[in-house]
């Protein structure tokens, strides 16, 4: 796996700054507007005892050749829970407009993160928002 630029983001992360979400483009930590913003941090903001599966969903920006050629980074999504599978639904936005693309994926514990795409496409932000996440038994 290529070297990752670890920038951890959780609940409702998408790749543009707004009131209840986090920026994934800036080195500055955004101000939390309410308790749905988790901010940048070195340790994931959750515990195994947590019953909220969204708190175990992590977005990471990594250096990847295709995205770097566009002066961007590759966005990947990862399950932080050590034992439980998480089914997550994501909506994709481009230039802050919903694209109508909704993806669903099962994130296995301990598995490699899943790639979503480049954070910037044709000099515009591309972003993903967590719509729903559940534990799968």
User: What is residue 6's predicted lDDT score, i.e. its pLDDT?
Assistant: 37
Average pLDDT over residues 62-72: 93
Spatial strand order in the sheet of 85-94: 97-107, 85-94, 124-136, 120-121
Mean pLDDT of the chain: 73
Is a pLDDT exceeding 80 seen at residue 122?
Answer: yes
Q: Of 111, 15, 93, whose CA–CA distance to 59 is shortest?
A: 15
Q: Where are the domains of the chain?
A: 4-136
Is a pLDDT exceeding 50 seen at residue 60?
Answer: yes
Average pLDDT over residues 64-86: 95
Percentage of the chain beyond pLDDT 70 is 64
**C-alpha dist (Å) from residue 96 to 56, 84, 92, 99, 122:** 25, 32, 9, 9, 14
Reported confidence tier of residue 14, pLDDT bands at 50, 70, 90: very low
Is a pLDDT exceeding 50 seen at residue 18?
Answer: no
The residues that bridge with 88 in the sheet, in sequence order, are: 105, 133
Percentage of the chain beyond pLDDT 90 is 61
User: What is residue 70's predicted lDDT score, i.e. its pLDDT?
Assistant: 87
User: What is residue 137's predicted lDDT score, i.e. its pLDDT?
Assistant: 86
- What digits encode the pLDDT tens for the residues 83-106? 999 999 999 999 999 999 999 999
User: What is residue 51's predicted lDDT score, i.e. its pLDDT?
Assistant: 81
């Amino acid at each position: 796996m290529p070297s990752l630029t670890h920038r951890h983001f959780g609940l409702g992360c998408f790749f543009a700054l707004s009131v209840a979400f986090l920026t994934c483009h800036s080195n500055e930590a955004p101000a939390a507007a309410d308790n749905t913003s988790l901010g940048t941090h070195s340790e994931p903001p959750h515990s195994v005892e947590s019953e909220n599966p969204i708190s175990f969903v992590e977005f990471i920006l990594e250096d990847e050749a295709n995205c770097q050629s566009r002066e961007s980074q590759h966005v990947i999504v990862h399950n932080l829970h050590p034992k439980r599978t998480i089914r997550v639904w994501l909506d994709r936005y481009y230039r802050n407009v919903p694209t109508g693309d909704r993806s669903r994926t099962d994130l296995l514990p301990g598995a490699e993160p899943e790639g979503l795409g480049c954070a910037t496409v044709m000099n515009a932000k591309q972003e993903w928002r967590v719509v729903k996440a559940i534990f799968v038994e």
